Amino acid sequence: MIEFKNYCKGDECFEFYDLSTLRVISDEEDETVAYLNGTWKFNTDVHSPEKALAWAEKRHGSKWSTEALYHRYNDACEGFRNPLDPVYSFFKGKQGCPHKKGESISWNMHKIVFPPTIASSFVGEWRANVAVERVVDGKLRKQCKYLRYDIHDE
């Protein structure tokens, strides 16, 4: 199962980005490979610094707990250009910040390779979270998305 959802609620929720066509597609022949396909469309102008928070949670029973990858970006635009950053491979060769409203970044079956062996402690249900906050028209607004996925033991 791979699920990409918005989890912000209320007046502060704002769609800075349209990720509705973005998909992660599993490789049917190789479990260590998936593909990123679709478009990230900018609904607002994006300027550096673009602050963001990224973290991963694992489900334990009915509760989610932060288990891995807790990273606060003081400027996500810089992270996209840094070869040591985990998201760099997705943005390598793509136009960096700034972005104007209406621009987009597209991926056509961009290959994602996972480690061939995963520790048993990683088996389970996970979600990768990203939260972006900005002040828009004098009000704090947030975009909060998660990618939910399962890691299976063979």
Closest CA to 41 of 12, 13, 21: 21
pTM exceeding the 0.85 threshold for the entire prediction? no
Instruction: Give the CATH number of the domain where residue 86 resides.
Output: 2.70.220.10
Please spell the DSSP secondary structure of 118-148, one letter per residue.
--GGG-EEEEEEEEEEEEETTEEEEEEEEEE
Residue identified by tokens 């891995």 is 68
Under the banding of pLDDT at 50, 70 and 90, the label for residue 117 is low
Give the structural domain span for 126. Answer: 2-151
Give 12-51 pLDDT, tens digit per residue.
788 888 888 888 888 888 877 888 889 999 988 888 888 8
Number of domains in the chain: 1
